[in-house]
Homo-oligomer: A and B are copies of this chain.
Amino acid sequence: MADTPTDRERTDVEEAIMEATYRALREQGYADLTMRAIAEEYGKTTAAIHYHYDTKDDLLVAFLEYLLDTFLDHVHDAATDDPESHLGALLDGLLIEREDDYDLVCALLEMRAQAPYHDAIREQLVRNDEYLREVVRSVVADGVERGVFRDDVDPDTVASALITIVKGARTRFVVLADPSVLHVARDTADAYVQGVLDA
């Protein structure tokens, strides 16, 4: 497992601002998001937010870190000792469980699309991508070590492949607004895993 750069305690105030950001992003999308909208969700002034986060980009970087932490806590709770079902639970979390969060998936795609123009956001998105890949990689490597998966597979390659399928599904979900693309991707991931991993 990689270091857990995101594994830090948030104060109650930071937690409340993250939750307000979540609601504001879902309602406004990213392009139209203002500190004022976040402050309104938070129930305080924009100054109260600026006290913790200098700029909107700083706040959004913290929010991306918060989303990663939330997801990691969730998969940690869902982890099983069996590599195959652990991998399945991860893929469910990354795909199927996003079905009811269309507005957030849209806001996150907007952020990804703006990455080339916002260095700090790009850096955090790259860290999130790396971290997720590492989580998937370690489950695959564990399965290879224990003989559940074939020993000639490269866990790094498998992890990148699965993250590619996840990102593609979410991009198509935004454009097509049809949750069935998440299920198609879940089946694609299973077919890929069966093809390359089954011992």
Contact = CB atoms under 8 A, between A and B. Distances in A.
Contact of A185 (B125, B164, B170): B164
A40 interface: no
Contacts of A171: 109, 112, 167-168, 170-171
A5 interface: no
Given A164-B169, A164-B185, A106 B116 contact: yes
- Copies of this chain, tallied across the complex: 2
Given A129-B175, A167-B168, A176-B129, A187 B157 contact: yes
A103 to B, nearest CB: 8
Q: How large is the interface on A (under 10, 10 to 19, 20 to 34, 35 or more residues)?
A: 35 or more
Main secondary structure of the interface of A (DSSP, over half): helix
Nearest to A121: B175
Contact of A116 (B29, B126, B191): B29
A63 B126 CA distance: 30
A126 B174 CA distance: 10
Nearest to A192: B192
Interface of A: 29-31, 106, 109-110, 112-117, 122, 125-126, 129, 157, 160-161, 163-172, 174-177, 181, 184-185, 187-188, 191-192, 194-196
8 contacts: A29-B116, A30-B113, A113-B113, A115-B174, A164-B165, A164-B184, A165-B165, A165-B168
Question: What 4 pairs between A and B have smallest CB-CB spacing?
Answer: A195-B195, A168-B168, A161-B188, A167-B168
